[in-house]
Amino acid sequence: MKKKLIIIAIWIMFVLILNYFDLLSLDINTVIKFASANKDYAYLLILGLWIVRLILFIPSTPLMILGGVCFNPAEAVFLSTVGMFLSETCVYIFSKSFAGNKVKNYLVNRQPDLTSLIEAYNYKLLALGVINPIAPADVICFLSASVGIKYSTYILTVIIASSPLRILYSFIGISLSESKIALALVIVSLVLVFTISIRIWNTLRSKKKNGVSTIT
């Protein structure tokens, strides 16, 4: 009960902050105008959201899309890359902490199948978890760090695996304003990435159930 109250309190605070800056009920054009008029501040706001998103229970996908809407593609990719680096580094550090060990025990009991998959495939499953829309990416990142993966391997896997999504989402903003065809191509590309990743995810689960631990 206490945890639910804390989560509700955090979301209320977040809504109050958005309301204070007149960002609560916005259309896309208003968001773009706000980012253009307050560019340096908008950079810090986006990066700040990347850092605190874990506390606010915000997935990474909305932030990548927000970056694509507010900034040009190069800026959006850069901000998403830095944001991903910062947030998943926080996950890694927390996973290595005493509190992280308690969370790990809780997750192992709640998701034993996922834990066994990570132990079997490690960084391969980490890469898939980052790009797969049905996979709990942050949970996979946390458990991957907890099983002893090196930080350099961990962060490089996260950054490289998330590159297709970061690049595709960065073109959403310009696609919305310039071309419906471009937007359609972006959406089709995302669907293909998601479809392929889901098929691989299901294949890994099937192989693990059958006692196979290698990817062909």
Report the percentage of the chain scoring pLDDT > 70. 73
Return all residues near 109 (Cβ < 8 A) that are at least 6 apart: none
Best CA proximity match to 70, nearest among 24, 37, 35: 35
Q: For residues 140-166, give the mean pLDDT.
A: 90
Cβ atoms of 134 and 201 within 8 Å: the answer is: yes
Q: Could you tell me the pLDDT band of residue 83, with boundaries at 50, 70 and 90?
A: very high
User: Tokens at residue 130, please?
Assistant: 């980052």
Q: What is the pLDDT of residues 22-52, one digit of tens each?
A: 554 445 555 556 666 666 777 888 888 898 8
Instruction: Please name the residue that has the structure tokens 């998943």.
Output: 88
Torsion 184-186-187-191 (CA) sign: positive
Q: What does pTM read for this prediction?
A: 0.73
DSSP string, 156-193: HHHHHHTHHHHHHHHTHHHHHHH-HHHHHHHHHHHHHH
54, pLDDT greater than 80: yes
User: Which run of H or E residues covers position 198?
Assistant: helix 180-209
Q: For residues 59-88, give the mean pLDDT.
A: 88
Please report the pLDDT score of residue 26 as a whole number: 47
The better pLDDT of the pair 201, 95 is held by: 95
Q: Could you tell me the pLDDT band of residue 16, with boundaries at 50, 70 and 90?
A: low
Please report the pLDDT score of residue 86 as a whole number: 94
Please give the C-alpha separations between residue 200 and each of 29, 118, 145, 155, 206, in angstroms, as whole numbers.
Answer: 38, 14, 22, 21, 10
Please report the pLDDT score of residue 19 as a whole number: 54
User: Tokens at residue 98, please?
Assistant: 């005493």
d(CA 172, CA 61): 12
The better pLDDT of the pair 128, 110 is held by: 128
d(CA 132, CA 149): 20
55, pLDDT greater than 70: yes
Least confident of 1-5, 63-67, 122-126: 1-5
User: Tokens at residue 68, please?
Assistant: 């694509």
Return all residues near 60 (Cβ < 8 A) that are at least 6 apart: 50, 53, 83, 84, 87, 137, 138, 162
Environment class of residue 95 by beta-carbon count within 10 Å: exposed (0-12), middle (13-18) or buried (19+)? buried
Q: For the chain, how long is the longest CA-to-CA vector?
A: 57
14, pLDDT greater than 80: no
Average predicted confidence (pLDDT) for the chain: 77
Q: What is the pLDDT of residues 100-115, one digit of tens each?
A: 777 778 777 777 777 7
The domain limits of the chain are 2-209
Return all residues near 154 (Cβ < 8 A) that are at least 6 apart: 88, 92, 123, 126, 141, 144, 145
The better pLDDT of the pair 23, 68 is held by: 68
Report the percentage of the chain scoring pLDDT > 90. 14
